[in-house]
Structure 1
């Protein structure tokens, strides 16, 4: 589940709703698998922010993580994701080159 909110308060309010829903349906969120990220827009990110909790336990802050196959970074740059895609492309190019190298040798 992914929640996006403009403020820490909005995220905390959504988590309260999630906790209530889970409790009413006999579910428990695994806080060890939860994390949050604050995207740092230039000059608009405070130095400190309130803690985020779920089921009374602190949720871990991440600065970079993979979501739906893409790497997200709190500094709003896609350098890590572009590098991941570049490496993937290089691997696939090498596989194709090896595969077709056999056919190129037969044509001589």
Structure 2
């Protein structure tokens, strides 16, 4: 469970509500596994933070935490989550290359599409460095070459075109467009309001992925 609050006072009130609910319903929070994080707006860096207590136990402050498999960071950047996906992609590809080295090319391509094109939560990435993003793209291309035993410096666009496989940029566009459509089709008015704001960073990235320079 995650509590979101615009201020420390409001967060303390939310924690109090949780404690009251737990007592009423016979539940118990594990304060040792609970923690808090303060988002850092641009040009503002908080060095001190008030104490937050849960069941009388002080919560530890962290700079990042994983929620449903996605890394959320205090500086609101996505480099950590992109690196998570890059490492996971490397592990999956190495496994495929070892276990299915003697399979035919069509089988390898099918396995690659099934295991190396998910890019979990990539449609949420809006604030990252080009290096982090490029490292993931390079890892994707290298994974395909390693699995199919292609030359290291062969053309990425040519090898994907030859096997009718989506390249990195095409996958990013497809994932972002899919999420955009799902959010717009949602009955949740808050989600629709966020996606339809032209100053929304999420919408800005979606547009950027589909714009031609």
Q: Same fold (TM over 0.5)?
A: yes
In the other structure, the counterpart of 1:80 is 80
Q: TM-score when scaled to structure 2?
A: 0.45
Q: CA deviation at 1:46?
A: 3.6
Structure-2 separation of matches of 1:75 and 1:96? 35
In the other structure, the counterpart of 1:25 is 25
Q: Cα 1:57–1:99, aligned 2, differ >3 Å: closer, same or farther?
A: closer
Q: CA deviation at 1:58?
A: 0.8
Q: Cα 1:102–1:30, aligned 2, differ >3 Å: closer, same or farther?
A: same
The count of corresponding residues between Structure 1 and Structure 2 is 104
In the other structure, the counterpart of 2:71 is 71
Q: CA deviation at 1:51?
A: 1.1
Q: CA deviation at 1:62?
A: 1.1
In the other structure, the counterpart of 1:3 is 3
Q: TM-score when scaled to structure 1?
A: 0.82
Structure-2 separation of matches of 1:23 and 1:100? 54
RMSD of aligned residue pairs (Cα, Å): 1.7
Greater RCO structure (CA 8 Å; 6+ sep): 1
Structure 2 residue runs of 5 or longer lacking an equivalent are 105-213
In the other structure, the counterpart of 1:39 is 39
Structure-2 separation of matches of 1:87 and 1:63? 20
User: 1 or 2, which has the higher strand percentage?
Assistant: 1
Q: Cα 1:46–1:87, aligned 2, differ >3 Å: closer, same or farther?
A: closer
User: 1 or 2, which has the higher helix percentage?
Assistant: 2
